[in-house]
Amino acid sequence: MSQNAHNNPLDASLLDQVVLGDCRDHLESLEDRSVHLFLSDIPYGINLDTWDVLHSNTNSALLGQSPAQRGKPAFKRRGKPINGWCRADRRTGTEYQAWCRSWARLVQPKMKPGASLFVFGARRTLHRLIIAFEDAGFLLKDVLAWKKGAAHHRAQRISKVFDRRGLPEEAARWHGWRLGNLAPAYEPVAWFMNPYRIGGTLADNVLEHEVGAMNLIASAIDGTSPTNLLEFDFAPGEIRWHEAQKPLKLIEFLVKLTTREGQVVLDPFMGSGTTAVAARRLGRHFIGFEIEPATHRTAVARIEREAPGRQP
């Protein structure tokens, strides 16, 4: 990997490391305009687990299981209904937005002008993420869609609910109806750009900062230029280290699309280390942070098994 000082003016103690801790305690230590790509599968704020509860509106039922959920693996934990359990739950969205803004503003000065930022989000909370990033100074370039290999349908049959209530006529009338959403076949990925010099062109920015363009040859899929619909599934035998993990091929695609070898990829929510593994396999540097100790240990172990420049 290139150690060119112009491309990587970074503290060596952070380069190619995953630091245990809250990224908000460490991001300011990065040098300004030193990161070529931000790529992170951040918490979605949808109460998937304790690490995804990013608001103050909790109650004793959150992350538990209702009687209808017990024994069903597709319903691991109880989240909040869209309508909420109390009036305070209506503030969940704005609190998530404030959380996103709290670290996005720290990221912005660290990104090179014209650099890309790929941020995975939830369909229900993506708009809050976008507003937070725009408030931090970033520009929304596109919203990509990652089409998942499988989508678990978690909509409850309303006829069964009425049957349990002893309402057979209502159950028959509502046969075929469900409570919930359609099968979630995709997840959105917000693609932002860090602003570059006003009055200059994007081509000028590429010459000056080596970011802002797309490598369509390196990221071609079966010889075809990619679109904003990303169809990647987990490879056979790919280990699932984390319940929110993304396929390695998907992360590698985004790295190849927007960076060159030797450049730096930042992931402040490293999780089980997929971004770092992708960067290392593709000859890029990485900087990561992870707040959960057990997850941090998993990421470090995965990364240590990867030789720099190794191809999948």
Which CATH code is given to the segment(s) 33-148+185-263? Answer: 3.40.50.150
The number of angstroms, rounded, from the C-alpha of 312 to the middle of its chain's C-alpha atoms is: 22
Domain assignments of the chain as residue spans, ordered by start: 33-148+185-263
Q: Tell me the whole-structure pTM to 2 decimals.
A: 0.87
pLDDT of 137-191, one tens digit each?
A: 999 999 999 999 888 777 889 999 999 999 999 999 999 999 988 999 999 999 9
Q: Which of 11-25, 43-57, 150-164, 235-249 has the lowest mean pLDDT?
A: 43-57
Query: Which range has the worst mean pLDDT, 35-44, 45-54, 102-111, 279-288?
Result: 45-54
Q: What is the pLDDT of residue 81?
A: 72
Arithmetic mean of pLDDT over the chain: 88
The predicted structure's pLDDT at residue 1: 38
